[in-house]
Structure 1
Amino acid sequence: MDERDPDREKSGPPAYQRDQIRREAGLEREEDAEFAAEAAPPLIVNRVPVTTQENVEQSYVRPGGRAMGYFALVLALLSLFFAPALLGSAATLLGFFSFVQGSRALGVWSIVIGLISLAGYFLLVPLYA
């Protein structure tokens, strides 16, 4: 009365149980790939071209920003030798304006040199007054 097949007992569980075991164990790669495609967030393609920092700096400099940056740098260098309170302050302000207009490197150099000149002036004036 027992309808078991002797070949089936040797080969393991029936096919539907083997499929279920493989699914639960994660051994079925085809279903995993399909599930991964369904569960992944949608791919958003950014069509903006990749630019380097040099290209960004050159493309956003306003026409007067570069000239103002060079002028501020000249004032900052002169402030190290002559009238540091006046020229250092002017170089710092013009350096900030050129930084805002896009000439970042010239603006930062002008600000730093102008502030160094001002700090030296305010530290050395009490010694010689």
Structure 2
Amino acid sequence: MEDDFKEETAAEIAAPVNLRRDYAVVDREADRDEVVGEGRGMGYLALALSIISLFILPVILGAAGIIVGFIARRRGANALGAWAIGIGAISIILGIFIMPFF
């Protein structure tokens, strides 16, 4: 009776997925100065865009300041990026909700 059933089974195994963005393990301490220096420039650019957006084109420049602020935070300039994001968000809120009344 057991010879009547001939089954074929297979197991498909997928390759493991790497969800991290850094695919190669590098020495973080040696590269940290270069990354922070690059992020610092982006942070100052983001902060400048956000401050200028308080006076001119608040929605467009504020959004640009927020986006560049996130990029700066990713590259290591956490404080400058956070300030740029905050000031850009305030600028957009002021531009959309408060400025039409003046």
| Identity rate, percent | 39
Q: Which runs of 5+ in 2 are unaligned?
A: 1-28
Q: Which runs of 5+ in 1 are unaligned?
A: 1-55
Query: How far, CA to CA, are the matches of 2:92 and 2:34 in structure 1?
Result: 28
Q: CA deviation at 1:127?
A: 2.7
Q: CA deviation at 1:66?
A: 1.0
Which residue of the partner structure matches residue 86 of structure 2?
112
1:111/1:87 CA distance change after superposition, 3 Å: same
Q: Which has the larger radius of gyration?
A: 1
- Please give the TM-score of this superposition, normalised by the length of structure 1: 0.50
Match of 2:74 among 84, 100, 114: 100
Amino acid at match of 1:96: F
Segments ≥4 residues shifted beyond 2 Å:
124-128
Return the structure number with greater helix share. Answer: 1
Task: Report how many aligned residue pairs link the two structures.
Answer: 71
Amino acid at match of 2:45: F
